Structure 1
Amino acid sequence: MVTAHWLFGDQLGPHFLAPGDDGPERGAPVVMIEARSVLRRRRFHRAKAHLVLSAMRHRAAELGDRVRYVRCDTYREGLREAVGDGAVTVHHPTSYAALRLVRSLPAVQVLPARGFLVRQADFRAWADGLGGRRLRQEDFYRRVRRDHGLLMDGDSPAGGRWNHDHDNREPPPAGARSLGAPAPYRPREDGIDDEVRHDLDRWERDGLVEFVGRDGPRRFPASRREALAALRRFVEHRLAGFGPHEDAMLAADPVMSHSLLSSSLNLGLLHPAECVERAEDAWRTGQAPVNSVEGFVRQIAGWREYVWQLYWYFGEEYRSSNALRHRTPLPDWFLDLDADAVTARCLATTLAQVRDSGWTHHIPRLMVLGGYALQHGWDPRAVTDWFHRCFVDGYDWVMLPNVIGMSQYADGGRMTTKPYTSGGAYVHRMSDLCGGCVYAPTERVGARACPYTAGYWAFLDRHRTRFEGNHRMTQAVRGLDRLADLDALLRQERQRGQDAP
């Protein structure tokens, strides 16, 4: 009897069905389970729920009679309906919760993970071999490049440097409202999307689920064909201009030259190898400069791969990390994506982008959203959950290291050597978001005091003892002693509390 193969909703590309020593048989029956309990447990962004269900149903339509697609309440119930007591294979899931589930089912055989460049065992061997030294992303990234012959000229990095960050941190052009990049690929909705939207409306109306955010026309690929079209559009028309301004922000141009491929990668519609290899081909054929290509390769073969590996290497207890002892609950205006309640233009603009699309690029995530949460001592576990629920590309493995480690410094420096937060000067330098704002990035106290500038100094004061011994923070902490208005600033921040800035 042929063993069925179970596809989770983030295992939707052909590489999850490819035959091999550890893979399901070609032509084996496929099981897909749409479990409503997943949406009931948390208040997800409506656009995210739409995208995931649309992608699953598009994949089922592609597989045709080969798939048994079950809509039910729980995964256990769905698997029982699909195969009874029959044996099932499944590739290693992408979360601890899902892994516990499949391991608890006696008839399920868990196969190695797919959709990544590095095997977990290889990463563990590398990390364990460091003998307690810091797991530096840069060291790992170079190892991936060498092992995969990626963007290399023999034994040397293409372009003579491993890291082109120096060329990729330019502010936006002065006075520009847009980078003027060619438009990104946008999919067209179809009958499957109509069905998904109808179901979501009905579930909300019946009180079965509750969402946050808006579900406008679907903005991200929900099929392999759409994902490949998005990749092709980016590489051929947008990659060349990606690098220099990848850290910049413009209020009227939230997409800039970013690829918008993260949701497709995290749904399993694209494999990271095909993305970075196409980017490298663009450099070798003269279609894109090396700094733009290296910046894109670093995001996928470096950071994305690193985050996936750390999720499993650090263990599930990592989610409880709270080195700074931040316990403040998230305020309602943030939970509800209520951008209209916010006066600070950078935060209001970013919240509106998340509300309307379930997406914003990495710098607004880190420096605007994450920076504000860090400065105000919000519970890092709640912040992680918010990012997971509110972003179309957010999954547990994605957000746990990115938020606990990179954004909230809750791991005390296991991932980064210092907390990533700043005053308003950074936002002013890297964006047009301070223009027209009622607050001034140079003001710390008073009616025009920038919430980020005041929040930054209040954060440093609160954690002075911890950070004065950090060589990357010593100078900033010493700056507290030069603030004649520090007492007034701290009183102001206490009065502001959790009110929307």
Structure 2
Amino acid sequence: MTVPHWLFGDQLGPAFLSPGEGGPARDAPVVMIEARSVFRRRRFHRAKAHLVLSAMRHRAAELGDRVRYVRAETYREGLREAVGRPPLTVRHPTSRAALGLVRSLSGVTVLPPRGFLVPQEDFRAWADGHGGQRLLQEDFYRWVRRGHGLLMDADAPAGGRWNHDHDNREPPPKGAGTLGAPAPYRPREDAVDDEVREDLDRWEREDGIRFVGRDGPRLFPATRREALAALDRFVERRLAGFGPHEDAMLAGDPVLSHSLLSSSLNLGLLDPLECVERAERAWRSGEVPVNSAEGFVRQIAGWREYVWQLYWYFGEDYRHRNALRHHAPLPEWFLELDADAVGARCLSTVLAQVRDTGWTHHIPRLMLLGSHALQRGWDPAAVTDWFHRCFVDGYDWVMLPNVVGMSQYADGGRMTTKPYTSGGAYVNRMSDLCGPCPYRPTERVGERACPFTAGYWAFLHRHRARLEGNQRMTRAVRGLDRLADLDELLRQEADRGDGPP
């Protein structure tokens, strides 16, 4: 008898059932389990729950009689119903909790992971060779490009430079309101989506399962066909304009020229190699400039791959890092995505985007949502959990390094060389969000004091002893000595507490 293969809900592309390189047998029966306990443990964004369940059910429909799709309270109950007793194979899961579960089951063989460019043992060898401490993303990115021949001309980087960030950090055009990029791919819902929405309604009504955010029409691919269509649309119509303004923010144009492919990659519907190779072909054929191609390749072959590898390399203890000793709880308005309670236009706008879609691009995540949490001293574990629950592309492996390491600097600099936070001047330069705001980015104190500007200086003051020895922060910390209103600013920040800004 052929050994059944268990397919997790983020392993939905064809590569996860490929029989090559230690994969399951070509005719292996497939088991898929929809476990309600996942949604009981965490209060997920409703749009995220919809996307994951829709993707799983669509995949089951594609597999037809080959799959046994079980809806159960827990994975263990589902396995008992689906296969009784092992043997069973499963691809290496994407979270430590899931890996612990499958390893606790007798008779389960864990196959190598799929969906990433670099084998874990190769990364470990590279990281150990660098001392295992400060593992710079830029070094890793160049190593990956050399190893996979990505955007390379012989031994040299395409376009003569490894890094085109200088060309990819332009502010948005003044007064434009939108970049005017071609619209991104958007899927059409079907009967599967209707069924998912009815089930979610029933869970909330009868089973006490609670969600956050809104579940409008599904905005992200739930099938391989949809994901390939989204990739085609991005490369053919949007990639050319992606690079220059990838760090910009516009209130009326939240997607700009971004690919919106992260959820498809993280569901396993797309393979990272096919995405970066498509971008490279578009550059070599003259369809897109090198800085746009490189910016996209960097996001996938550089940052996404780097985060996946660090999640496993740093170990479980990394989850509990809190170098800045931040312990404040997340306030209710933030937990509830209550954008209407927030007066600061930048934060209100982005919180509304999360509420309505479960998505924003990387700069609002880092420099607005994450920066505000860092300035307010919120518990990094709680911030990590919030990002995990509230974003359609959020998984444990995605958010743990991104939030603990980069966004909240909770590892004390093991992943990044400085805290990523700023005053309102950065927001004003890189967006159109400050104009109609009741706060002014240049003001630190008073009724119109920008919460990011005041919060930035309060953060530097609170952590001066740690940060003044950081070469990238020395100049900023010394700026505290020039603030004649520092005492007033600190009193104001203490009085404000964690109410919505």
Partner of 2:26: 26
Partner of 2:277: 277
Displacement after TM superposition at 1:87 (Å):
1.0
CA offsets 1:305-340 (integer angstroms, 9 cap, x no match): 000000000001101000000000000000000000
Map 1:76-115 to 2 at 5 A.
76-115=76-115
CA RMSD of aligned residues (A): 0.6
| 2:413 is the alignment partner of 1:404 | no
Map 1:180-195 to 2 at 5 A.
180-195=180-195
Q: Are the aligned partners of 2:133 and 2:414 in contact in 1 as well (CA < 8 Å)? A: no
Three-state SS of the structure 1 residue aligned to 2:434 is coil
Gaps of 5+ in 1: none
**Counterparts in 2 of 1:195 and 1:327: CA distance versus 1, 3 Å:** same
Rounded Cα–Cα distance in structure 2 between residues aligned with 1:324 and 1:299: 28
Q: Are the aligned partners of 2:2 and 2:27 in contact in 1 as well (CA < 8 Å)? A: no
Aligned residues: 501
CA offsets 1:408-440 (integer angstroms, 9 cap, x no match): 000000001100000000000000000100000
| 2:431 is the alignment partner of 1:444 | no
Displacement after TM superposition at 1:130 (Å):
1.2
Map 1:53-452 to 2 at 5 A.
53-132=53-132, 134-452=134-452
Rounded Cα–Cα distance in structure 2 between residues aligned with 1:274 and 1:24: 22
Rounded Cα–Cα distance in structure 2 between residues aligned with 1:149 and 1:201: 48
Displacement after TM superposition at 1:27 (Å):
1.8
Identity of aligned residues (%): 82
Deviation larger for 200-209 or 40-49:
200-209
Displacement after TM superposition at 1:132 (Å):
4.6
CA offsets 1:97-129 (integer angstroms, 9 cap, x no match): 000000000021001111000000000000011
Rounded Cα–Cα distance in structure 2 between residues aligned with 1:26 and 1:148: 28
Rounded Cα–Cα distance in structure 2 between residues aligned with 1:320 and 1:386: 15
CA offsets 1:159-178 (integer angstroms, 9 cap, x no match): 01000000000000011100
Displacement after TM superposition at 1:454 (Å):
0.1
Rounded Cα–Cα distance in structure 1 between residues aligned with 2:295 and 2:201: 40
Rounded Cα–Cα distance in structure 1 between residues aligned with 2:399 and 2:326: 18
Q: Are the aligned partners of 2:86 and 2:106 in contact in 1 as well (CA < 8 Å)? A: no
Partner of 2:6: 6
Three-state SS of the structure 2 residue aligned to 1:206 is helix
Deviation larger for 80-89 or 323-332:
80-89
Rounded Cα–Cα distance in structure 1 between residues aligned with 2:14 and 2:106: 26
Rounded Cα–Cα distance in structure 2 between residues aligned with 1:289 and 1:233: 17
Rounded Cα–Cα distance in structure 1 between residues aligned with 2:127 and 2:88: 33
Displacement after TM superposition at 1:207 (Å):
3.7
Partner of 1:470: 470
User: Residue 109 of structure 1 aligns to which amino acid in structure 2?
Assistant: T
Which runs of at least 4 in structure 1 moved beyond 4 Å after TM superposition? none
Displacement after TM superposition at 1:21 (Å):
3.5
Rounded Cα–Cα distance in structure 1 between residues aligned with 2:336 and 2:9: 26
Rounded Cα–Cα distance in structure 2 between residues aligned with 1:283 and 1:345: 37
User: Residue 64 of structure 1 aligns to which amino acid in structure 2?
Assistant: G
Rounded Cα–Cα distance in structure 2 between residues aligned with 1:174 and 1:404: 34
User: Residue 496 of structure 1 aligns to which amino acid in structure 2?
Assistant: R
Deviation larger for 124-133 or 452-461:
124-133
Rounded Cα–Cα distance in structure 1 between residues aligned with 2:210 and 2:462: 37
Partner of 1:458: 458
Displacement after TM superposition at 1:134 (Å):
1.7
Displacement after TM superposition at 1:131 (Å):
2.4
Displacement after TM superposition at 1:208 (Å):
2.8
Rounded Cα–Cα distance in structure 2 between residues aligned with 1:242 and 1:187: 21
Displacement after TM superposition at 1:284 (Å):
0.6
Gaps of 5+ in 2: none
Rounded Cα–Cα distance in structure 1 between residues aligned with 2:144 and 2:246: 22
Deviation larger for 17-26 or 344-353:
17-26
Displacement after TM superposition at 1:133 (Å):
5.1
Structure 1 length normalisation: TM-score? Answer: 1.00
Three-state SS of the structure 1 residue aligned to 2:6 is strand
Rounded Cα–Cα distance in structure 2 between residues aligned with 1:435 and 1:393: 31
Three-state SS of the structure 1 residue aligned to 2:11 is coil
Structure 2 length normalisation: TM-score? Answer: 1.00
**Counterparts in 2 of 1:356 and 1:112: CA distance versus 1, 3 Å:** same
